[in-house]
Amino acid sequence: MFKVFKAGDFLILALFCIILIMSMAIYLNLPSGDILKIDYQNQTIKYSLNQNKKIKMGDLDIEIKMGKARVSHSNCKNQYCVMQGWISHINQSILCVPNLFKMTISQKIDEHDSTNY
């Protein structure tokens, strides 16, 4: 295949690789968030991620462990929310559709999370 390449093709190939490496760098160096936003039963609750905490919400157990969070136990059938494992980067989220549950990680906003304590 490389025999039919002309001179300019390597330029385009290099461009392609640069774009790929840039997107990979963005992908790998995502800033880790510090707020866990939980949408459950028509209300949004925010927790700080810099703590160790276990939260019980209905049939779901959520675990926060110094910068990352997961759903440790759920009563749903497929257990997709548990299998997602830990999340720590901004905009990562875990859904549990049977329980109408969503949790997302976001950056610190100026408002203080008074619901934490």
Partner 1 sequence: MTAQTTDIHIIAKLSAIAIVLHTAEFFLPSPIFGLKPGIANVVVLFAYYFFNLSSAVYVSLIRVFISSLILGTFLTPTFFLSFSGALSSLGCLAIASYFLNKKFFSIYSFSMLMSLGHVIGQFICVRLFIIQDNGVFFLVPIFIIFAFIFALINAYIVDKIMRVSKSQIKNDKIYP
Q: Is 31 in the site for partner 1 (CB under 8 A)?
A: no
Q: CB–CB of 83/96 below 8 Å? A: no
Distance CA 47, CA 58 (A): 17
Q: Least distance in Å: CB of 33 to partner 1? A: 12
Nearer to partner 1, 13 or 97 (CB): 13
12 vs 115 by CB, closer to partner 1: 12
Closest to 85 (Cα-Cα) out of 93, 33, 77: 93
Which residue lies nearer to partner 1 by CB, 4 or 117?
4
Give the binding range for partner 1 (CB under 8 A) out of 5-13, 70-78, 79-87, 109-117. Answer: 5-13
Q: Name residue, tokens 């461009």.
A: 15
Instruction: Figure out which of the listed residues 41, 75, 93, 116 binds partner 1, where binding follows CB under 8 A.
Output: 93
How far CA 5 is from CA of 20, 30, 38, 67, 90, in Å, comes to: 20, 36, 53, 48, 41
CB of 105 closer than 8 Å to CB of 35: yes
Among the listed residues 75, 91, 107, 115, the single contact to partner 1 using CB under 8 A: 91
Which residues sit at the interface with partner 1, rule CB under 8 A? 1, 4-9, 11-13, 16, 19-20, 23-24, 26-27, 91-93
